[in-house]
Amino acid sequence: MTALVWKDLRHHAHQWLWSLLVTTTGGAFIGVIIVSWYSAQQWSAARADAARAAEYIRLTGILGSNLVGYAGVSVAVVVSSTLALTVTAQARSHALWKIIGIPSRSIRSIILAQTGVVGLLGGLVGGLAALPATGWYLLTWRDLQTYPADMPVVMPAFAVPLTIVITTVFSVLGGWGAARRAASTPEMQALREATAPAARTRVWQWVVAGLLLFSVVVVLIVAMVDPDGLTGTAGLDPEMVADIKEMDSVEGEQEGLGGALAMIAMIAALCIPGRTIRPLLTAWTALVPERSPAWFAARANARHRSTMSLTTIVPFGIAVGMTGVVYAIVGATQAAGSVGGVSGFLAIAVPIFVISGAGGVANIAMVGSTRRQEGALLGVIGARRSTLMATTILEGAIYAVTGVLFGMIATVLSAAGAALLSGGGMRVFLAALPLGTLAPVVAVVLVLAVATTWLPALLDRRPAMDRLRRPA
């Protein structure tokens, strides 16, 4: 079995290497969060004044919990969904294993071993890279104006082992469902459905989404009954309370409560993308006329692949949505009279942006060989190369635009919620829309998605029949 694990990893290296890129990136930021949090705790505990040290430790706990809650969850979602797509994309090979007599239990064990190996390697490389990466990452903490610019970076002995364990767990959990389906699906059914397995919304996804939406209701009730209870700063030094509110303004400012609730609702929607993002893709693409063969083929390809996985879109939705929601909250609070900025946003946003970009690129590129094989088939039946290239570009654009639209919807809901709860009406709503800030994020998303689909197709100059026989 061990030999099959390594031979299959080499055979499908063009897919597993993209997964390794994502697990390494995720592992690096898991390690960075551990080292940064530990370093800040050590610096806080070293304060001469015991009371002041306790306050700084509490402040560090707030920042650390936000890092885990936002950046950590983003890493978990992107890593696990990428590994799930990697396993699902190899469904035909797993069906052939069953045909030649490999037991279902062995197939499941082999797949889980492969995901574990990729997670372990990614966690090891990422954990070792965490120490130098932390020095660069701590530059984003300067706008907090709480920790010194030269705060010592302390890497605890448990950082690398813990990074390896967490990354491996995320990877194995991501491949668990796909491995179970590969082992339980009859081989002939798997061969028929290997090119288009249906992505189902699991019970746990509904549970998580429901809990998040329930928390929205609870926070709203608490805000109405005891607004000051949301901050949890009773008994602290006034100066420290000001620092906490500056860092945690999303929860602490009444004017930004509507935007904060919209952010939680956005995360809930990301938990069930089959019920939120896929209908969005289908709806907006149906509005574009079918006058171009390239558009018709690109739309069909994008809809078809969305039935297999939506991980080609989710990372872009996270990047645009997170940026839009946070800046909408800031715009609403400023319009209501606050002078605060986006202090601490980069500390949370940088890991999210990097892992989302890596995940989006990897998930689009992972099915690139299948995309080029389908393009070769169109070429054999008479499609011109210009049409094939246009189809490829448009397909990448569809993924990007869908993610952008999802993020924009979350932004608009955030601005509307902030305007309603602050009582500022249309004035606050318009001030909360961060169109100028979102423009570069949208541009980066479009460039990444289009380049990832277009460049490999542009560089592949093999004859169509060769691409049909060997797409990779």
Mean of the pLDDT values across residues 130-139?
A: 91
Tokens 């890593």 belong to 79
Q: Which has more confidence, 248 or 325?
A: 325
Question: Could you please report the per-residue DSSP string of 319-375?
Answer: HHHHHHHHHHHHHHHHHTT-----TTHHHHHHHHHHHHHHHHHHHHHHTHHHHHHHH
pLDDT of amino acid 122: 96
Q: How many residues does the chain have?
A: 472
pLDDT of amino acid 465: 62
Share of the chain above pLDDT 90, in %: 24
Mean of the pLDDT values across residues 433-451?
A: 90
What is the chain's mean pLDDT, rounded? 81
In the chain, the N- to C-terminal Cα span, in Å, equals 25
pLDDT of amino acid 8: 85
Mean of the pLDDT values across residues 22-46?
A: 93
Contact indicator for 137, 36 with CB cutoff of 8 Å: yes
Contact indicator for 285, 97 with CB cutoff of 8 Å: no
Predicted confidence band of residue 239 (pLDDT cuts 50, 70, 90)? low
Least confident window among 204-213, 227-236, 402-411: 227-236
pLDDT of amino acid 397: 93
3-state secondary structure (DSSP) of residue 275: helix
Q: Is the pLDDT of residue 85 over 60?
A: yes
What is the spatial distance between Cα 251 and Cα 255, in angstroms, rounded to a whole number?
Answer: 10
What is the spatial distance between Cα 212 and Cα 207, in angstroms, rounded to a whole number?
Answer: 9
What is the spatial distance between Cα 261 and Cα 58, in angstroms, rounded to a whole number?
Answer: 24
Contact indicator for 246, 224 with CB cutoff of 8 Å: no
pLDDT of amino acid 50: 81
Least confident window among 21-30, 43-52, 322-331, 334-343: 334-343
Q: Is the pLDDT of residue 118 over 60?
A: yes
Question: Could you please report the per-residue DSSP string of 279-335?
Answer: HHHHHHHHTS----HHHHHHHHHHHHHHTT--TTTHHHHHHHHHHHHHHHHHHHHHH
Q: pLDDT by residue (tens digit) across 216-225?
A: 888 777 766 6
Q: At what angle do helices 2-11 and 13-45 cross, to 10 degrees?
A: 100
Q: Is the pLDDT of residue 116 over 50?
A: yes
CB count in 10 Å sphere of residue 13? 12
Q: Is the pLDDT of residue 283 over 90?
A: yes
